[in-house]
Chains A and B, each alone.
Chain A
Amino acid sequence: MKPSTLTYGVDDTPPLPALATLGLQQLLIGAAGWVMMATALAAFSTSAGDTQSILRMSMIVTGLGAMLQANRRGPIGSGYLCPPIVAPAFFSTAVLAGGGYGLPTLFGMTTVAGVLEVAVARLLPRIRALFPPEVIGVVMTMVGVAVMPAGFPRLLADPATLSAGADQGRNVAVGLITLATMMGCTAWGRGLVRLFPLLIGICAGVAAAVALDCIPPTAVQSVVDQPWVSWPRRAVPGIAVEWSLLLPFTIACIATSLKNVGDLTMCQKINDSEWTRTDMASVSRGATSQGIGNIVAGLLGTVSHNTSSSNIGLAIASGATSRTIAYSFGLLMVCCAFLPKVAATITALPPPITGAAVVYCCCFMMLAGIQLLTSRLLDARRILMAGCALAFGLSGGLMPHLYVNAPHVLRPILNSPVSLSAIVALVLNYVMQLGNTRRTRLTLAAGTDNYVAIRDGLLQFGASVAARKETITMATESLHHVMESLATGLTTGDVTVDLTFDEYNLDLDVSHQGQAIELVKTRPDRNTLLNDPTGLAKLTGWLLGQRAERLRVRTDGDRCHLLLRLAN
Chain B
Amino acid sequence: MQRLLDGDADSVELDFSNIEFLSSAGLRVLLITANAAEAKGGTLQLCGASAQIRAVILTVGFDDIVNLRD
Contacts and interface: CB of A to CB of B under 8 A. Distances in A.
Contact of B60 (A484, A523, A530): A523
A337 B23 CA distance: 64
Interface string B43-70: 0000000001000100111000100000
A535 B28 contact: yes
A47 interface: no
A188 to B, nearest CB: 24
A116 B52 CA distance: 48
Contacts of A371: none
B21 A530 contact: no
Interface in B15-43: 21, 23-25, 27-28, 31-32, 35
Nearest to B61: A523
Contacts of B61: 523
Contact of A543 (B52, B60, B65): B60
A536 interface: yes
Contact of B31 (A451, A476, A530): A530
A539 B52 contact: no
Contact of A473 (B23, B24, B52): B52
B24 A539 contact: yes
Interface in A518-557: 523, 526, 529-530, 535-536, 539-540, 543, 546
Contacts of B28: 529-530, 535-536, 539
A341 interface: no
Highest count of chain A CB atoms <10 Å: which of B23, B28, B56:
B23
Contacts, number: 40
A539 B60 contact: yes
A323 interface: no
Nearest to B22: A477
Contacts of B32: 530
Nearest to A483: B23
Contact of B27 (A473, A476, A539, A546): A539
Given A529-B28, A535-B28, A484 B59 contact: no
Contact of A477 (B35, B56, B60): B56
Nearest to A474: B52
Interface in A291-328: none
Contacts of B27: 529, 539
Given A526-B35, A530-B32, A451 B21 contact: yes
A480 interface: yes
A72 B61 CA distance: 40
A335 B61 CA distance: 58
Contacts of B52: 473, 477
Contact of B23 (A484, A523, A530, A546): A484
A530 B36 CA distance: 12
A477 to B, nearest CB: 6
B66 to A, nearest CB: 12
Interface residues of A, number: 18
Interface in A464-490: 473, 476-477, 480-481, 484-485
A480 B23 contact: yes
Contacts of A451: 21, 23
B31 A477 contact: no
Contacts of A543: 24, 59-60
A523 B31 CA distance: 14
Contacts of A540: 24
A484 B25 contact: yes
A540 B23 CA distance: 9
A196 B19 CA distance: 43
Contacts of A530: 28, 31-32, 35
A481 B23 contact: yes
A531 to B, nearest CB: 11
Contact of B24 (A484, A526, A546): A484
Contacts of B21: 451, 476-477, 480
Most buried by A among B25, B32, B35, B56: B25
A476 to B, nearest CB: 7
A527 to B, nearest CB: 10
A146 B60 CA distance: 48
A452 to B, nearest CB: 11
A444 to B, nearest CB: 14
Given A477-B56, A539-B60, A543-B59, A485 B31 contact: no
A485 B24 contact: yes
Contacts of A523: 60-61
A529 B59 contact: no
Contacts of B56: 477
A526 B28 CA distance: 9
Contacts of B59: 543, 546
Query: Which of B24, B32, B52, B65 has the most C-beta atoms of chain A within 10 angstroms of its own C-beta?
Result: B24
15 contacts: A451-B21, A473-B52, A477-B56, A481-B24, A484-B25, A485-B24, A523-B61, A529-B31, A530-B35, A535-B28, A536-B24, A536-B25, A539-B28, A543-B60, A546-B59
Interface of A: 451, 473, 476-477, 480-481, 484-485, 523, 526, 529-530, 535-536, 539-540, 543, 546
Interface of B: 21, 23-25, 27-28, 31-32, 35, 52, 56, 59-61, 65
Q: Which 10 A-B pairs have the closest CB atoms?
A: A481-B24, A484-B24, A536-B24, A540-B24, A484-B25, A484-B23, A529-B31, A480-B23, A539-B24, A546-B59
Given A526-B35, A543-B59, 7 more contacts: A451-B21, A451-B23, A477-B21, A481-B24, A484-B24, A484-B25, A530-B35
